[in-house]
């Protein structure tokens, strides 16, 4: 009897390990405008150009920003970049890895709801991002030091039409 119970438990554990993982997200399209993740209210939205001024003296701040997407992860759409006024890139990631945006979002205007923060990205992670972006082996190998930059974690994204 104990062997049978043990066998059933072992089979249940093995079956749970082989279950496919699903990635879910909320996507809504209203009048041609796409919404990803949590809803984003159209109040107190600042332009991307003002984000550095808004962040003065703070390491993390809740906000909604509006700006143009520069680049999107070409593997899954799990991150994107935007260019700040000073020419630096700001990496946008998504809360709990639950949002995936279209890979062809570059050049489109978006509104993001979440928080901005100062981040130091490791060489390993920078190389991973470069690989996701389809950079060459030489470009990836040229990344040799961590990078401190402004970053943003979004819980909701609106793609403007």
| Mean pLDDT for the stretch of residues 11-32 | 48
Q: What is the Cα 104 distance to its own chain's centre?
A: 15
What average pLDDT does this structure show over 55-71? 94
Task: Tell whether 21 is covered by a domain.
Answer: no
Judge whether 16 lies within some domain.
no
Shortest CA distance to 125 belongs to which of 99, 151, 106, 105?
A: 151
DSSP tag of 1: -
Q: Domain for residue 4, yes or no?
A: no
The answer for 37, left when phi > 0, alpha when psi is -120 to 50, beta otherwise, is left
Residue 52 lies in a domain: yes
Confirm whether 7 is domain-assigned.
Answer: no
- Is residue 14 assigned to a domain? no
Q: What angle do CA 143, 147, 153 make, to 5 degrees?
A: 120
In order of 4, 8, 22, 133, the CA distances from 29 in angstroms are: 52, 45, 22, 26
- Look at the chain and report how many structural domains it folds into: 1
Could you report the per-residue pLDDT of 98-114, keeping only the tens digit for each? 999 999 999 999 999 99
Residue at 77 is within a domain: yes
pLDDT bucket at 32, cuts 50 / 70 / 90: confident
- What is the pLDDT, as a whole number, of residue 10? 37
pTM assigned to the model: 0.75
Alpha helices in 63-145 (DSSP H): 123-132, 137-141
Which DSSP letter does residue 78 get? -
The answer to whether residue 1 is domain-embedded is: no
Give the pLDDT band of residue 67 (cuts 50, 70, 90): very high
Write down the pLDDT at residue 133.
85
| Whole-angstrom distance, CA of residue 69 vs CA of residue 61 | 20
Q: How far is residue 30's CA from residue 93's CA, in Å, rounded to a whole number?
A: 24
Q: What is the pLDDT of residue 157?
A: 95
Boundaries of domain holding 80: 27-159
- Please report which confidence band the pLDDT of residue 2 belongs to, taking 50, 70 and 90 as the band edges: very low
Residue 19 has pLDDT above 50, yes or no: no
> Within 10 A of 87 (CB to CB), how many other CB atoms are there?
6
Residue 116 is predicted with a pLDDT of: 97
The CATH code of the domain that includes 105 is 2.40.50
């Amino acid at each position: 009897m104990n062997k049978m119970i043990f066998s059933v438990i072992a089979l249940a554990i093995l079956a749970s390990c082989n279950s496919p993982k699903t990635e879910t997200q909320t996507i809504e399209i209203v009048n041609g405008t796409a919404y990803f993740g949590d809803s984003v209210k159209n109040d107190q939205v600042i332009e991307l150009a003002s984000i550095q001024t808004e962040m003065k003296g703070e390491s993390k701040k809740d906000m909604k920003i509006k700006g143009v997407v520069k680049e999107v992860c070409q593997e899954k759409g799990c991150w994107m970049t935007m260019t700040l006024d000073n020419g630096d890139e700001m990496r946008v990631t998504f809360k709990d890895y639950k949002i995936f945006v279209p890979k062809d979002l570059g050049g489109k205007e978006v509104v993001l709801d979440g928080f901005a923060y100062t981040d130091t990205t490791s060489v390993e992670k920078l190389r991973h991002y470069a690989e996701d972006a389809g950079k060459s082996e030489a470009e990836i190998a040229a990344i040799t030091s961590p990078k401190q930059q402004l970053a943003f974690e979004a819980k909701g994204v609106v793609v403007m039409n």
